Amino acid sequence: MDIEVFQAELEKVKRFEQDEDYYAFVRLTDHITGNEEIGWLDCLLDAICVEDDYGTYESLYNAIWRFPCDMAAKRLAEYLPDLQRRMSHAPFQVWRFYIPIPQKEQSASAFLEAASAWDDKERRTGMDAMKAWCMLSGGDEKAWGPIYEALGGKLPKAVPVDPIPDAYGWPDALKERVEEWRALPPDKNSVRVFWFGGKETRMEEWRADLPRIVEALALRHGEKWRDINVWQNPFSFFARELYPDFVEAMAKAPEDIRDRAVSNIKKARPRNYTDMCDKLKAYGIVPGKAIWPK
């Protein structure tokens, strides 16, 4: 198969409009050996275009990284600004292809060299992407941090750990669970700091705990600062119906606690922050600047 045929066949199926497109896509990407010229790699990168691939992009990932790591990393750097704009609705679908780059000096160096040639607009887009990768759970701050800083980015300073105030009036068991969670590595989490039991039996207890989640979000948790997302994740899944109650608990919280909680949400997951601010407008609330205890 020559490159023109490969490109045309990939173009037909890359949006997965028919069930058989998934199988055809995998067959095409499995055809790649990594010994091809760079134009074949470009075809693969041009195929990244959907939010839901249902696992099919695993074959695309493997095909891209069959190429020499410096070649793949260089081309991924050159493509990053365009990919970020093209896939702004699904940034994870971009990040996943970049995971191997910091793992080898050869690929990291090739990425850095190519990224250094970005123009101003490309640089803003590429740096925003890497900053987001640095803030992901799972150690990517250490993985992408050196590359991000080498390109002139500045990572947030170390976050302190706030003691749990006695004024919160938390039961000892909850304090212990939060402290145990804080002691976990950044890539280890437990939603069960708050979310115990099943939906059928614990819904009212979960609802009663919402002010405590707000209070916990208002604390600084050291290296676990980005992992506060785990306490909000159930609002997108099994506790979706409680999200309006959570917004109400945020609105009813003392102003200083609310401002700190919203500030932490903004830092850890900007998308949640934007939604929370929109919902708080219904209560006539615009979160203010967080003031932290010294």
How far is 60 from 126, CA to CA, in rounded Å? 22
Higher pLDDT, 259 or 158: 259
User: In this model, does residue 139 exceed pLDDT 80?
Assistant: no
Taking CA 6 as the corner, what is the angle to CA 5 and CA 12, rounded to the nearest 5 degrees? 90
Mean per-residue pLDDT over the chain, rounded: 90
How confident is residue 134, by pLDDT bands cut at 50, 70 and 90?
A: confident
Lowest mean pLDDT among 23-27, 96-100, 158-162, 195-199: 195-199
Q: Angle 243-252/270-280 helices, nearest 10 degrees?
A: 70
Residue 30 has a pLDDT of: 95
pLDDT tens by residue, 12-32: 999 999 999 999 999 999 999
Statement: residue 138 has pLDDT above 60: no
Hey, how many other C-beta atoms are within 10 angstroms of the C-beta on 152?
9
pTM for the model: 0.65
pLDDT above 90: percentage of residues in the chain: 69
User: Is residue 118 scored above 90 in pLDDT?
Assistant: yes
Highest averaged pLDDT of the listed ranges 87-91, 269-273, 274-278:
274-278
pLDDT tens digit sequence for 37-70 = 999 999 999 999 998 888 899 999 999 999 999 9
Please give the Cα distance from 269 to 271 (Å, whole number).
6
